[in-house]
Structure 1
Amino acid sequence: MAKKVVATLKVAGGKDWAKVIRAVKSPKTGAYTFREEMVPVDKVQEFIASGTK
């Protein structure tokens, strides 16, 4: 997984993105899973506040 992020950052526009990791609780089991997504830096706060994709 890390190789993809490093490769993305080597591109000219790669630094304009941030990796966001969010804990999501399963309604069925109650267990938490983690979702990783690449989001534009200027949209990170909006993405976190939204709660869903």
Structure 2
Amino acid sequence: MAKKVVATLKKTDNKSFAKVIRAVKSEKTGAYSFREEIVPAELVKETLAQK
């Protein structure tokens, strides 16, 4: 599946996108889950800086 995601990220009008995967801790159980987002390459640092 990763190959398909990378291929689709490169096709959109010469804009570059990145897939950001974050570990998010649940307040109820304390377990970690992963949140995936596809963002423009210019906004990766800003997205990671958000909480």
Task: Say how many residue pairs are matched.
Answer: 50
Identity rate of aligned residues, in percent? Answer: 66
Moved over 3 A (4+): 12-15
State how far apart, in whole Å, the 2-side matches of 1:48 and 1:10 are: 21
> TM-score normalized by structure 2?
0.79
Q: Structure 2: where are the runs of 5+ without partners?
A: none
> TM-score normalized by structure 1?
0.77
Partner of 1:8: 8
RMSD between aligned residues: 1.8
Structure number with higher helix proportion:
1
